[in-house]
Amino acid sequence: MKEVISIVHFEQSELLKRLPEQFFASLVGKTQALKREGHDVINLGQGNPDQPTPDNVVKALQNAAGNPIHHKYSPFRGFSFLKEAVATFYEREYGVTLDQETEVAVLFGTKTGLVEISQCYLNPGDTALLPDPGYPDYLSGIALANAKPSFFPLLEKNHFLPNYDEMSEEALDLAKLMFLNYPNNPTSATATREFFDETVEVAKRRNICVVHDFAYGAIGFDGQKPTSFLESEGAKEVGIETYTLSKTYNMAGWRVGFAVGNHSVIESLNVIQDHLYVSLFGAVQEAAAEALLGDQSAVDELVTTYETRRDALVKAAKSIGWEVTAPKGTFFAWFKVPEGYSSEQFAELLLREAHVVVAPGSGFGETGEGYVRIGLLDEPERLEEAMKRIGQLGVF
């Protein structure tokens, strides 16, 4: 008689149970199901860059991979040559001077740092200020720290910038951290130097650590270069900026980024990573340094590519009667849904009837309701085809 093996179910920790549901999981599942049925699906719902990594960066990795020094553990806090490259990059691009040893932390992609920062500074019950709508993974770090989020709305009337005068005095007093992200995911808005100057003043008065997620720092349109938070006087006194190579250099799968700014915050990130990792593969660090210091023409070409796609999308959307506003930055568009639909209902309609995937704005927060996020991550012809299919639904 065959023995029946009983599988023990082990209870998850309270920490794991606190984590929010991964926003894109169900969207990916529905998309894959349609593809399995043989449908031509135009997936504009995610944020995965579709262009290859520049050749010079790939070759740098290939050459460095053969170096025996990289077959050993890397220094815990990253090689000095990469941190020096980061400092050179910030001086060149933004006129910001950094101490490479005390004001630069190497990250396993900036998502890692954005989750870790909450564990560095938030105790159970503490408060962090979060944009609504905003990048869902900010919440993950807060949940791991058993802290509390306090949301501030990003409204079209305020150009999708927080209005500090309208924010809760209690929330500002309680907050230890504040997350910002410009150019913004999902709204595609950009920030001004004046806004960051005001942010520094607010943070100083309230003793708030600012975490500026500069993921789309290279992607600004109409000749406008996005502004770094650290360009504002006093910014390093009150916070940090995180920068990923995923978007600027199409290195999403390489998982490399960095944090720069306030030396005490950089040290805290280094300390937590001392316990979690032994830094990045050295060859990846060499390739990252090449990306930052080498020929930047691929970055210019990439921005031109996204701007061409933006123009094609906006023109095609308007041709079907969709009244939209052109994005100012990022590789996303943030469009209002037609009357009579919620964000999720409209996204479901487009998926089911047009086989076009967009992300419902409500997935980024309550204030995202009424919008959908569309990625500029396909060729202009496919973006135009997506708008054509949507137009055939007769909802505008």
For the stretch 128-168, pLDDT in tens is: 999 999 998 899 999 999 999 999 999 999 999 999 999 99
Q: What is the CATH classification number for the domain harbouring 245?
A: 3.40.640.10
- If asked whether residues 250 and 121 sit together in one domain, one would say yes
* Strand-pair partners of 179: 211
The whole-number pLDDT of residue 2 equals 63
- If asked whether residues 304 and 335 sit together in one domain, one would say yes
Q: Which of 266, 293, 320 is the last residue of a domain?
A: 293
Report the C-alpha gap between 369 and 348 in whole angstroms: 14
Does residue 238 sit within a domain?
Answer: yes
Q: Is the peptide bond before 49 cis (omega within 30 degrees of 0)?
A: no
Out of 35-39, 159-163, 345-349, pick the least confident. Answer: 35-39
Q: Which of 293, 310, 333 is the last residue of a domain?
A: 293
Does residue 8 sit within a domain?
Answer: no
Does residue 284 sit within a domain?
Answer: yes
CA 207 and chain centroid, separation: 25
Does residue 316 sit within a domain?
Answer: yes
Residue 247 contacts residue 218 (beta carbons within 8 Å): yes
DSSP string of 167-209? S-HHHHHHEEEEEE-SS-TTT-----HHHHHHHHHHHHHHT-E
**Which of 34 and 77 is assigned the larger pLDDT?**
77
Read off the pLDDT of each residue in 52-78 and give the average, rounded to a whole number: 96
Residue 396 contacts residue 321 (beta carbons within 8 Å): yes
- If asked whether residues 137 and 231 sit together in one domain, one would say yes
- If asked whether residues 48 and 59 sit together in one domain, one would say no
Indicate the number of domains in the chain. Answer: 2
For residue 91, pLDDT beyond 60: yes
The whole-number pLDDT of residue 117 equals 96
For residue 1, pLDDT beyond 60: no
- If asked whether residues 175 and 152 sit together in one domain, one would say yes
- If asked whether residues 46 and 60 sit together in one domain, one would say no
Please choose, from the candidates 396, 393, 392, 389, the residue with its C-alpha nearest in 3D space to the C-alpha of residue 44. Answer: 389
Report the C-alpha gap between 63 and 18 in whole angstroms: 43
Does residue 6 sit within a domain?
Answer: no
Secondary structure of residue 150 in the 3-state scheme: strand
Per-residue pLDDT band for 3 (boundaries 50, 70, 90) equals low
- If asked whether residues 29 and 97 sit together in one domain, one would say no
For residue 180, pLDDT beyond 60: yes
For the stretch 279-297, pLDDT in tens is: 899 999 999 999 999 999 9
The whole-number pLDDT of residue 104 equals 98
- If asked whether residues 29 and 99 sit together in one domain, one would say no
215, burial (CB in 10 Å: exposed 0-12, middle 13-18, buried 19+): buried
Does residue 1 sit within a domain?
Answer: no
Does residue 7 sit within a domain?
Answer: no
Q: What is the CATH classification number for the domain harbouring 327?
A: 3.90.1150.10
Q: Which domain holds residue 358?
A: 14-52+298-391
Report the C-alpha gap between 276 and 30 in whole angstroms: 34
- Provide the residue type at 154 as one letter: L
- If asked whether residues 156 and 77 sit together in one domain, one would say yes
Report the C-alpha gap between 358 and 380 in whole angstroms: 16
Largest CA distance in the chain: 77
- If asked whether residues 207 and 193 sit together in one domain, one would say yes
Does residue 213 sit within a domain?
Answer: yes
- If asked whether residues 22 and 160 sit together in one domain, one would say no
109: left (phi over 0), alpha (psi -120 to 50) or beta: left
- If asked whether residues 98 and 193 sit together in one domain, one would say yes
Q: Which of 233, 262, 293 is the last residue of a domain?
A: 293
For residue 5, pLDDT beyond 80: no
Beta strands in 143-208 (DSSP E): 148-153, 175-180
For residue 276, pLDDT beyond 60: yes
